Amino acid sequence: MEEFSLSKINEKILSSSVFIEELRRGMKEVIIGQDSLIDKIFIAMLADGHILLEGVPGLAKTLTVNTLSNLINTKFQRIQFTPDMLPADLLGTLIYNQKTGEFDTRKGPIFSNIILADEINRSPAKVQSALLEAMQEKQITIGENTFNLENPFLVMATQNPIEQEGTYPLPEAQVDRFMFKLIVEYPDKESERSVLRQNTNALKTNSINSVINPKTIIEAQRTINQIYVDSKVEDYVLNLIFATREPEKNGLGDLENIIDCGASPRATINLIKAAKARAFIEKRGYITPEDIRYIGKDILRHRVILTYEAEAEELSSDDVIDRLFESIEVP
């Protein structure tokens, strides 16, 4: 890319990313102590991806998504997944109309812009598949009719830690459709003190005014596609991904018996897409290795599958990914 066009995209991003600060400010008024989570939700939304959240209940996941939908002035739905749920409860169904003698389409809660799929691993596999198919195709078929889902479309699915009883773990192939898997941690003591004080004032999210509209997000997504990616950064991403598949060939022989299954090409694509979105919120027209490192763990965490040997040694995916980032040379 020529210098002229790079400076042009930089100028475009400076002017079109102003809304990020307004969104951040609005989110931080309500959500305290989860700055990293907020930024990564922005990145996923701008990169047209979806998020899988793992964490205990009560960490403001619903409030976070509801606040975001209010700020963007979009439709929001929280769907509670249960063991007796059916795909029709999610997607919609055909209802017989006695007056006309025809079947009318009744759309399900999936027809929104921002979806919180709560406790996705409590529902049977056929319901999980219905949601993940909608995420991938961005369209729903009810009877003989096919409906496109509106943009922007962000699914934030929460799951209980696998140790909890009564769960149906998501298959690896389906988890791969989520751009990020985020681990939601407890806030620190001072943040929790602020949460405590704030909630005694009974602040309601419906008092939040929207600062942008969905069209702004769609335009930002188009701008993000133009962000420059240097071939050295591409090589860095490819080296990381191939190291998960062939550790020994990449000087990581100690991980050969630790990694059972490496990251898919979808991980390669998502690393670049998310890095571009991160560059956008940092007001840059190009991506750097630091962008890859910032989102790398969240993109690879659920895609690098470990062996039983790794479990015996009490190694987690995060430990293995840290080792990859330490070993792969940064351009």
Mean pLDDT, all residues of the chain: 87
Domain 227-327 has CATH 3.40.190.10: no
As a CATH number, domain 19-207 is 3.40.50.300
Determine what percent of the chain is predicted with pLDDT higher than 90: 39
The DSSP line for 193-214 is HHHHHHHTTT--GGGPPP-S-H
Q: What is the DSSP letter of 89?
A: H
> Distance between CA 120 and CA 124 in Å, rounded?
9
Sign of CA dihedral 292, 293, 295, 296: positive
Sign of CA dihedral 325, 35, 6, 46: positive
State pLDDT tens for residues 96-112.
Answer: 888 888 888 889 999 99
- Residue 136 has a pLDDT of 86
- Residue 205 has a pLDDT of 47
Nearest to 230 by CA among 281, 267, 277, 285: 285
- Banded model confidence at residue 162, pLDDT cuts 50, 70, 90: low
The stretch 167-173 carries a mean pLDDT of 76
State pLDDT tens for residues 122-147.
Answer: 888 889 888 888 888 898 988 888 89
Sign of CA dihedral 32, 49, 290, 6: negative
Sole residue written with tokens 């109309």: 97
Compute, in degrees rounded to 10, the torsion defined by CA atoms 302, 23, 136, 12: -110
Two tokens, residue 314: 């009490």
Residue-range domain boundaries for the chain = 19-207, 227-327
- Residue 250 has a pLDDT of 81
